[in-house]
Amino acid sequence: MKVINAQVYDSGAFVRKDVYIRDGRIVSEDPGTGETIDAEGMYMIPGLVDVHTHGAAGHDFCDADPEGLKMIAEYEKKSGITSFCPTSMTFDETRLEKIFRTAAEFEWTVDRARVVGINMEGPFIAESRKGAQNGKYISAPDIGMFRRLNDGCGGMIRLVTLAPELPGAEEFIREFPDKVSVGHSDADYDTAARAFEAGAAHVTHLFNAMPPFHHRKPGIIGAAAENENVMVEVICDGLHIHPAMIRSIFKLFGEDRVILISDSMEATGMPDGMYELGGQAVKKTGRRALLEDGTLAGSASNLYDCFRNAVSFGIPLASAVKMATENPARSIHMEKEIGVIAPGTRADLLILNQDLDIVKVISE
């Protein structure tokens, strides 16, 4: 297959060129056979990579239901998300082991997005910042527990949220520095800075479930901004963070350090009504999903909607693409496989019109 005449996203810019595909991979030379797609006047970008999504299409990853995970993956693929990390909630080890097994046993087919890892959000979080997590199962960081869970799913855990003020947190970070994401935390600036110095390089949904960015108490946000190795997740549904703050995050961290996420839950892609998140009742009204006490319970937007929101909020198109493709792939150490358009990488591609509507999803 080859796609000709597209404006192709390439290293932070758009370049008019042809893209060649053979056996599901980008290749440098025309394969000489197969379909030719003329994308004159259109954009080509990598398939989106969502490293933080709990569910969609009426299904929750924490249901530990293989068929449900397949339905989530089909919804993601149709929505332009070709790779994702299903994300757990705060449960005990036995329940998490069962949940993670569904990801380990997931089988990819051409109509599904790829499961490229697991995002373990809890139980190593602060009670005071649990948000929509179930406080009943919160625990201190446990190296042995994490190791057992990761071994049980074949090493699929890419990220684990951790509150660095908890007992044992520093030891945990030094043991798994490339996996720790600071979040659901009341950590002050000094505690967060030590966590980043110890190797943590990711922040779970910036501004949400953490202290505010205060001029005398800069907290996690201030510490993350000062450490150039730290990347930050941003829920860009227009509800969790004000559009003006999205622009401020972009200016503060730059296009290379921001990761757009959906934090979507099972109500995403579904009509208004009652749903669940981690076993807790959630009411969806429009794009808003709330627990009974009014707490935001994840989002009801997929990552492609969040990407388009970012552009509408004033983020340059090429930067928004990077934040939804390259950056999340890099954050889980998969930038040589997904999230970019380069020879050798997976041919996970989106063709978009000038209004950023998806014309075609290519992923074979």
Could you give the residue numbers annotated as active site? 263
Question: How far are the Cα atoms of 39, 41, 281, 341, 360 from residue 8, in angstroms, in the given order?
Answer: 10, 11, 43, 8, 14
**Euclidean distance between CA atoms 178 and 157, whole angstroms:** 11
Mutual angle of helices 243-253 and 219-226, in 10-degree steps: 40
SS3 string of 143-199? HHHHHHHHHHCCCCEEEEEECCCCCCHHHHHHHCCCCEEECCCCCCHHHHHHHHHCC
Q: Does the CA dihedral 201-262-112-8 come out positive or negative?
A: negative
Question: How far are the Cα atoms of 12, 134, 150, 152, 353 from residue 98, in angstroms, in the given order?
Answer: 40, 18, 12, 9, 41
